[in-house]
A = this chain, B = another copy of it.
Amino acid sequence: MMPALSNPFKYKMNMHKIKLLLAFLMLPMAVLAQEVKSPDGNVCVTFSLTGNGVPTYEMTYKRKSVIKPSRLGLELAKDKHASKGLEETSLMDGFAIADTKTSAFDETWKPVWGETATIRNHYNELAVTLHQASSDRNIVIRFRVYNDGMGFRYEFPQQKSLNYFIIKEEHTQFTMAGDHMAWWLPGDYDTQEYETVTSKLSQIRGLMKQSVTENSSQTPFSDTGVQTSLQMKSADGLYINIHEAACINYATMHLDLDDKNMVFESWLTPDATGLKGCIQTPFNTPWRTVIVSDDARDMLSSNLILNLNEPCKIEDTSWIRPVKFCGVWWEMIVGKSTWSYTDEFPSVHLGVTDYTKAKPNGRHGANNDNVRRYIDFAAANGINEVLVEGWNIGWEDWANRWKQDVFDFVTPYPDFDLKALNEYAHNKGVKLMMHHETSSSVINYERHMENAYQLMNKYGYDAVKSGYVGDIIPRGDHHYSQSMNNHYLYAIQQAAKHHVMVDAHEAVRPTGLCRTYPNLLGNESARGTEYEAFGGSKPDHTVILPFTRLQGGPMDYTPGILETQLSTWSENKNIIHTTLVGQLALYVTMYSPLQMVADLPENYAKFDDAFQFIRDVAVDWDDSKYLEAEPGDYITVARKAKGTNNWFIGGKCDENGHKSVVKLDFLDKGRTYDCTIYADAPDADYEKNHKAYVITHRTVKKGDVLKLMQARGGGFAVSLIVKR
């Protein structure tokens, strides 16, 4: 034993003092903060290193705190394959600033489809290169600051000491300045189909359990874990939205809340082994985005997430077009007809089960006669396409049986004549829309994908609705993991090769990738209209979604259920939680280049005068003006139809009703417009009197004012057609 250690206690005390001294010496005498402001100066982001070289940022809007000082960094996992010991040195601290670069960018680009004809991408940038001496590694943190918020990402240049690494957790923090009001979904690795909860941040923990409702695949992970895009509102009137942009080759981010300190931390979706990402440099993470304004309308008109995505990578986009479609779908959702052809097979073996000898169940929706009926309906009403679900064999045991070889995506049921129906449709100027339900057997889908797309090319399909119901195969993987996100993008890229547009359901929530791959026409990735047949969604649902889910890209919400009482034509006892006119409004308030005309032809026949709005409304726009907005309360927007001078206005509200005053100051001076107003009747009410509506016609001009009463759970829709 060494003499100096003869009194261990004393030794410890000495070491403690030395450590304190060292810590003091390592504190920077003056923290050198880097600041970058938005072009208009309202948004300010400050970067600094704190403590032991910990990257930290904060953000203000008009000098109000949006994000209080918050740490940045990634924790790495031990890589069993790593030959050197450095791979698992976390990228959390020990950094020094090696370089900083600031720059400005201002460009206007044209989306292939969108809410506006052009989009301005205008930001100031700060790129900080950090050096971690212990590992001899450089990383870059890049901030882009816009008038309506900011995004930042981690960049890992290829370098000798950093070629591959495994992410145990990304520890990006977002420290809130208060106990904000939030519109949140329970965090989950496998579903986004929860009802949005409106509460203070401090109430999340208490509300979590009841908010996790049953789903065919679900993996909640924390009592305070929520999904992005997360919309918040501060007590001092700031609207704050956290999401991500350009999530490519990376796991989807959730936010886990430290509800004592109101600190959100990124929480990535793991793979089957619990790890969160395998990275090869050079690599950039997705952008972590914070949109902010003191005007709620700015949240809806923000293009920040699209702007943070890469420009279009598809050279020829002439085959991409917005689509209005109807389909053999709602009748199955409601339970009147079936996806399956027969009730005889307890289970199906593709290639073995002989359908030609099976007794039809008599309720198969995708039969020739029924599909022709929908084609006729589409042709008569200017609807571009007809989706047909349940056309291909395998639906008798399709969901959640851990069945790998569930569909082949090419073999129709005996009562679905693939060739004849496509010809019938094409002769009427209509296309069929393909349906690929994968049952989340990704192994199976990828094996059949090329043949499936070839079949589509052969018969003239140009769009596919894909589905990912149930738990992922390979088992143990999750819907929003790095590998699954790679799969969704792979499917989109392969589709593009075949000039196929994609509408992916139950896939990952979008993060603006439709800018780069505009054949991704839409996603579900939230609770769609189908839930109205499963028990319903709350009336405020559709005045929350545009603030949250739609930040990343359009949603195939499947609106237009004019027969709001399902029991009038089925045994389903549910009602739609909007008025009839509320359904019309969604075609304008829920922006999407892919709009379903979701109800049955016979139901539209019952409300033909109201249906006229659905016939008329555009699905692509030259301009959009958000006139009123408050999350969970109301949204009013006017849009100018692509290539015309016609406008459409939609207003939607929650269960409290809303009174809108719309000043038509966006119309062209000197023109007159035929104005048709689809309004809730004075006694309309989403619970007691759904289908009471009033249609009025008048002539209007720029500067005129429309006063519009929205019923409880109601809305309004207005068409403004230029008089010739």
Residues of A within 8 A of B (CB): 79-81, 158, 160, 163-164, 166, 271-273, 275, 278, 280-281, 346-347, 349, 397, 400-404, 443, 446-447, 450, 470-471, 473-477, 483, 486, 490
Q: Are A447 and B278 in contact (CB under 8 A)?
A: no
Q: Are A275 and B475 in contact (CB under 8 A)?
A: yes
Residues from chain B with Cβ under 8 Å of A483 in the complex: 404, 443, 473-475
The residue of chain B having its C-beta at the shortest distance from the C-beta of A349 within the complex is: B280
14 sampled A-B residue pairs with Cβ under 8 A: A79-B402, A81-B470, A158-B346, A160-B346, A272-B273, A272-B474, A272-B477, A275-B475, A278-B475, A280-B403, A443-B446, A447-B490, A473-B483, A474-B477
- Complex: A272 Cα to B158 Cα, angstroms: 31
- Complex: A164 Cα to B404 Cα, angstroms: 12
Shortest beta-carbon distance from A168 to chain B in Å: 13
Residues from chain B with Cβ under 8 Å of A476 in the complex: 271-273, 476
Instruction: Among A166, A473, A476, A483, find the residue whose CB has the most chain B CB atoms closer than 10 A.
Output: A476
- Complex: A400 Cα to B81 Cα, angstroms: 6
- Complex: A443 Cα to B449 Cα, angstroms: 13
- Complex: A349 Cα to B278 Cα, angstroms: 14
Q: Are A401 and B346 in contact (CB under 8 A)?
A: no
Given A164-B401, A447-B490, A473-B483: 15 more A-B contacts, CB < 8 Å: A81-B400, A81-B402, A164-B402, A271-B475, A271-B476, A272-B273, A275-B475, A278-B475, A280-B349, A280-B401, A404-B483, A443-B483, A474-B474, A474-B483, A475-B483
Residues from chain B with Cβ under 8 Å of A475 in the complex: 271-273, 275, 278, 483
Q: Are A402 and B347 in contact (CB under 8 A)?
A: no
The residue of chain B having its C-beta at the shortest distance from the C-beta of A487 within the complex is: B443
Instruction: Among A80, A81, A160, A473, find the residue whose CB has the most chain B CB atoms closer than 10 A.
Output: A81
Contact of A158 among B81, B160, B347, B450 (CB under 8 A): B347
Shortest beta-carbon distance from A396 to chain B in Å: 11
Q: Are A280 and B347 in contact (CB under 8 A)?
A: yes
- Complex: A271 Cα to B81 Cα, angstroms: 20
Given the contacts A447-B446, A474-B477, A163 and B273 also touching, CB distance less than 8 Å: no
Q: Are B273 and A404 in contact (CB under 8 A)?
A: no
Instruction: Among A160, A281, A475, find the residue whose CB has the most chain B CB atoms closer than 10 A.
Output: A475
Shortest beta-carbon distance from A710 to chain B in Å: 42
Residues from chain B with Cβ under 8 Å of A400 in the complex: 81
- Complex: A403 Cα to B476 Cα, angstroms: 19
The residue of chain B having its C-beta at the shortest distance from the C-beta of A483 within the complex is: B474
- Complex: A400 Cα to B80 Cα, angstroms: 9
- Complex: A278 Cα to B278 Cα, angstroms: 28
Shortest beta-carbon distance from A627 to chain B in Å: 46
Among all A-B residue pairs, the 3 with the closest Cβ atoms: A272-B272, A272-B476, A278-B402
Q: Are A401 and B81 in contact (CB under 8 A)?
A: yes
Contact of A403 among B80, B160, B164, B349 (CB under 8 A): B164
Residues from chain B with Cβ under 8 Å of A403 in the complex: 164, 278, 280
The residue of chain B having its C-beta at the shortest distance from the C-beta of A490 within the complex is: B447
Residues from chain B with Cβ under 8 Å of A474 in the complex: 271-272, 474, 477, 483
Shortest beta-carbon distance from A181 to chain B in Å: 35
Shortest beta-carbon distance from A488 to chain B in Å: 13
Residues from chain B with Cβ under 8 Å of A80 in the complex: 471
Residues from chain B with Cβ under 8 Å of A473 in the complex: 483
Given the contacts A79-B402, A278-B402, A347 and B272 also touching, CB distance less than 8 Å: no
Instruction: Among A401, A446, A486, find the residue whose CB has the most chain B CB atoms closer than 10 A.
Output: A401
Given the contacts A271-B474, A474-B474, A347 and B163 also touching, CB distance less than 8 Å: yes
Residues from chain B with Cβ under 8 Å of A81 in the complex: 400-402, 470-471
- Complex: A447 Cα to B442 Cα, angstroms: 12
- Complex: A471 Cα to B271 Cα, angstroms: 15
Shortest beta-carbon distance from A629 to chain B in Å: 41
- Complex: A272 Cα to B281 Cα, angstroms: 26
Residues from chain B with Cβ under 8 Å of A163 in the complex: 346-347, 397, 401
Shortest beta-carbon distance from A445 to chain B in Å: 11
- Complex: A605 Cα to B106 Cα, angstroms: 70
Residues from chain B with Cβ under 8 Å of A346 in the complex: 158, 160, 163
- Complex: A275 Cα to B80 Cα, angstroms: 23
- Complex: A683 Cα to B271 Cα, angstroms: 59
Shortest beta-carbon distance from A317 to chain B in Å: 21
